[in-house]
Structure 1
Amino acid sequence: MATKVEGYETTMLITKAGQGVGIRRGDKATVHATGVVKETGKKFWSTKDPGQSPFSYQAGVGQVITGWDQGCLGMTVGEERQLVIPAKEGYGAAGFPAWGIPAGGTLMFTLECLAIEGKDR
């Protein structure tokens, strides 16, 4: 059953457990990610597509959309998680037309944590 990310409207569902210490604010996280627009069912991005590679970012500091940034905190290596991100915690009222994300679009991400780098690791 999906649960809300504390303090946000984004929901998460862990579909496969991982192990180790989870992603913390400031860590460099590397993930596989597939994003779909909930309203249309259209995939707009996947790191598993030909020519793509895993995505790395610094967690919890605003380098990615809010729902993703907060929804991946605590994720462990090997874990798979689904996030449903409302527009206000995604690309907002403007959407992201270049990627086919409509104004006010809700995003669904399937994520797999591949690696975590940070202090005390």
Structure 2
Amino acid sequence: MEAIPGYATTKKIEKEGDGPGIAKGNNVTVHATGVVKETGKTFWSTKDPGQQPFSYQAGVGGVITGWDQGCLGMKVGETRLLEIPAHEGYGAAGFPAWGIPPGGTLFFTLECLTIQ
């Protein structure tokens, strides 16, 4: 895992992509799968039946901090694993409705589909 400067979240490129990388303010569409490190349970996946790829504006706080910063630089076709500590994820409260415990560390696998 590689450090993201200024953050506790770390990243690992699992598959290289092509073209320019995601920059702050880009509109991005990704496939995303989130797993709670402590339990090994998947709490969300855009690849599950009935789910759709997720679109958001990168680097502006529209998603949790670890994801928001961890996606920057990704290229179309790239798959990246993020390890996001609680304080850059859902914090001390967690997100019980999704099965994320208080102080839970998250693994997110992101696959960049489009960058605009």
Give the TM-score normalised by the residue count of structure 2.
0.99
Equivalent residue runs for 1:31-42 within 5 Å: 31-42=30-41
CA distance in 2, matches of 1:4, 1:101: 23
Q: For 1:38-85, what per-residue CA distance to the aligned partner results, in whole angstroms no more than 9, with x for missing partners?
A: 000010000000000000000000000000000000000000000000
Unaligned runs of 5+ in 2: none
Q: CA RMSD in A?
A: 0.3
Answer yes or no: is 1:48 the counterpart of 2:47. yes
> In the alignment, residue 76 of structure 2 is paired with which amino acid?
V
Shift of 1:91: 0.2
Shift of 1:100: 0.5
Equivalent residue runs for 1:15-26 within 5 Å: 15-26=14-25
Shift of 1:28: 0.3
Identity percentage of aligned residues: 75
> In the alignment, residue 11 of structure 2 is paired with which amino acid?
M
Q: How many residues align?
A: 116
Shift of 1:12: 0.1
Give the TM-score normalised by the residue count of structure 1.
0.95
> In the alignment, residue 35 of structure 1 is paired with which amino acid?
G
Shift of 1:98: 0.8
Structure-1 residue corresponding to 2:100: 101
> In the alignment, residue 68 of structure 2 is paired with which amino acid?
D
Shift of 1:7: 0.4
